[in-house]
């Protein structure tokens, strides 16, 4: 009797474990043939922009622009100066190169999944669902939602601080006088408003929002060209030979700086969440991930060189380095032009974080892991409008009450978890010679695949068909 109870308990435990790691078949995901978990289905529209389908309208250029925009603003205008002054000196260039190599390794993992599972939304959430199962997909999905929500709030706070600095801190002073402080932090009303405005742009439709992104990226590109030309008149190589030389903190400073610089590359994974909207996802996603990483690396290295050649690294304004150096060398008009680029860069960085947020929510809701009403697509614009509005309000509240420093600290761990899991999933796919997913490693008697997935050994029977016999 005891042995029987132990056997039943063991069997029940294995059944529960198999449910937690049940996966989706990548071949069945193409064309959105699966309805959801446990027989749950979503309402399908009759065509693009229907009740459950996003519009396919994004090209490789659009995806590359999205990836570049989501990264380049924070790296050029914030991270480069901060690392140069506090950690690495002029060797921040090497820190960015090392971080770029690490990012490219992560990027090719995303690119490989972009080829294996191309026509899906959700990015790391869907990749983990395909490989390691439902429970880890649920954890990573919520992790990504919080990461993008916090990232949107952080970019909005940085953009608000930029406007505040341009107006000589009149915005923050006025707000503090009118509302006081909450936990020693002045409520950032402007950042909250910027997020709500961005939500309106995203709800207006993917084509209009991508045009908005491309326009601001074009402004940032023109400003980058201006920086490269104008800085040539103020560069001094003595700033690399004096003041401690090129590597004043040695290799320890370079490697420590690389750890910080890595987070300037956060954003290329946003491309992976657009699989359902890409015209040719199988080619566009891997190409655009690699292209965007190469472009932002060039932008970061060149900007770091400009900053550290124009002024000594220990005199850099870490909060606005690229803008500040032109003021320090007596070029106020150039400073205004660069400030315009900073506004454009931080705007598209906020757009990139916010763009992927409702798409992750949409993918999870369509699978039934969160409220299915959040997967509704507004027929007028073909966007997940409800998810965009609800989580936009959440991001605006986070920007209102949390400081930029707190938001950045909360963001880092989420990104690290997502990148690590995707890299592990690639290893699992490659080094399971006779199985594609973890569930195939279990005994057949306790497997619980999602209804609608094919039964091994029968090309026509599915779990639903077998149960009906």
Please tell me which residue, 52 or 163, carries the higher pLDDT value: 163
Instruction: List, in order, residues 6 or more apart from 139 with CB less than 8 Å away.
Output: none
Note the pLDDT of residue 274.
Answer: 80
pLDDT tens per residue, range 268-287: 778 888 877 788 878 888 88
Residues of the chain with pLDDT > 90, as a percent, come to: 3
| Cα–Cα nearest to 118, from 267, 288, 265, 266 | 288
Range with the lowest mean pLDDT among 190-204, 258-272, 352-366? 258-272
Residue with tokens 């091994």: 456
Q: Residue 462: beta bridge partners?
A: 454
Q: What is the pLDDT of residue 36?
A: 40
| Selected residue with higher pLDDT from 397 and 465 | 397
Q: Where residue 49 falls among pLDDT bands split at 50, 70, 90?
A: very low
**CA angle (172, 178, 180) in 5-degree steps:** 75
Average pLDDT, the chain: 76
Task: Give residue-wise pLDDT tens across range 445-466.
Answer: 444 444 444 444 444 444 344 3
Question: Alpha-carbon distance 191 to 172, whole Å?
Answer: 11
C-alpha distance across the termini of the chain, in Å: 32
| Nearest 10 degrees: Cα torsion 364, 369, 372, 373 | -70
Distance CA 245, CA 55 (A): 53
pLDDT in tens, 248-257: 888 888 888 8
Task: Locate 102 and state its tokens.
Answer: 């690490």
Answer yes or no: are the C-beta atoms of 125 and 360 closer than 8 Å. Answer: yes
Residue entry with tokens 């995707």: 422
CA separation for the pair 133, 25 (Å, rounded): 11
Number of DSSP helices (H) and strands (E) in the chain, helices first: 18, 0
Give the pTM.
0.78
Predicted local confidence at residue 208, as pLDDT? 84
Closest CA relative to residue 198, chosen from 145, 229, 160: 160
Enumerate the β-bridge partners of residue 454. Answer: 462
Given a cut of 80, is residue 145 above it in pLDDT?
Answer: yes
**Percent of the chain whose pLDDT exceeds 70:** 76
Q: What angle do CA 41, 46, 51 make, to 5 degrees?
A: 55
Do 368 and 397 contact (CB within 8 A), yes or no?
Answer: no
Interval 218-227 mean pLDDT: 91
> What whole-number distance in Å separates Cα of residue 273 and Cα of residue 362?
10
- pLDDT band for position 24 (cuts 50, 70, 90): low
Q: What is the pLDDT of residue 222?
A: 92
Q: Supply the pLDDT for residue 115.
A: 77
User: Which DSSP state fits 44?
Assistant: P
Sign of CA dihedral 12, 17, 18, 22: positive
CB contact burial 256-295 (16+ within 10 A = b; e otherwise): bbbebbbbbbbbbbbbbbbbbbbeebbebbbbbbbbbbeb
At residue 225, the pLDDT reads 92
Phi, psi of 278 (to 5 degrees): -80, 140
What does the domain layout of the chain look like in residue ranges? 55-431
Per DSSP, 377 falls in state P
Topology adopted by domain 55-431: Amino acid/polyamine transporter I (1.20.1740)
């Amino acid at each position: 009797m005891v042995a029987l109870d132990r056997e039943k308990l063991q069997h029940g435990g294995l059944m529960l474990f198999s449910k937690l790691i049940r996966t989706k078949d990548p071949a069945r995901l193409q064309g959105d043939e699966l309805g959801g978990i446990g027989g749950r289905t979503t309402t399908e529209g009759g065509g693009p922009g229907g009740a459950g389908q996003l519009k396919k309208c994004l090209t490789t250029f659009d995806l590359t622009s999205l990836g570049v925009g989501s990264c380049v603003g924070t790296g050029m205008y914030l991270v480069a100066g901060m690392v140069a002054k506090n950690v690495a000196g002029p060797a921040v260039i090497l820190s960015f190169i090392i971080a770029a190599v690490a990012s490219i390794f992560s990027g090719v993992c995303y690119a490989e999944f972009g080829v294996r599972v191309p026509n899906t939304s959700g990015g790391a959430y869907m990749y983990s669902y395909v490989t390691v199962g439902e429970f880890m997909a649920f954890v990573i999905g919520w992790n990504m939602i919080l990461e993008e929500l916090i990232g949107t709030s952080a970019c909005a706070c940085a953009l608000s601080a930029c406007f505040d600095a341009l107006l000589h801190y009149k915005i923050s002073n006025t707000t503090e006088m009118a509302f006081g402080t909450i936990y020693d932090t002045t409520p950032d009303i402007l950042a909250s408003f910027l997020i709500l405005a961005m939500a309106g742009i995203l709800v207006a439709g993917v084509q209009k929002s991508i045009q908005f992104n491309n326009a601001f990226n074009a402004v940032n590109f023109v400003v980058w060209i201006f920086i490269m030309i104008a800085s040539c008149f103020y560069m001094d190589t003595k700033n690399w030979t004096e003041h401690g030389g090129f590597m004043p903190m040695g290799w320890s400073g370079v490697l420590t700086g690389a750890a910080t610089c890595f987070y300037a590359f956060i954003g290329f994974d946003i491309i992976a969440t657009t699989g359902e909207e890409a015209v040719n996802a199988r080619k566009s996603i891997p190409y655009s991930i690699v292209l965007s990483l190469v472009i932002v690396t060039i932008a970061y290295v060149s900007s770091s060189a400009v900053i550290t050649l124009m002024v000594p690294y220990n005199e850099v304004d870490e909060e606005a380095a690229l803008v500040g150096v032109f003021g320090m060398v007596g070029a106020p008009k150039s400073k205004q032009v660069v400030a315009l680029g900073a506004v454009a860069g931080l705007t598209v960085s906020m757009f990139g974080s916010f763009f992927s947020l409702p798409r992750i929510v949409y993918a999870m809701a369509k699978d039934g892991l969160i409220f299915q009403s959040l997967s509704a697509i507004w027929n007028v614009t073909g966007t997940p409008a409800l998810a965009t509005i609800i989580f936009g309000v959440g991001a605006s509240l986070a920007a209102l009450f949390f400081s930029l420093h707190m938001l950045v600290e909360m963001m880092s761990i989420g990104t690290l978890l997502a990148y690590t899991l995707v890299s592990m999933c690639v290893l699992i796919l490659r080094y399971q010679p006779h199985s594609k997913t973890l569930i195939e490693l279990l005994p057949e008697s306790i497997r619980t695949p999602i209804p609608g997935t094919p039964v091994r050994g029968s090309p026509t029977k599915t779990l639903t068909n077998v149960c009906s016999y």
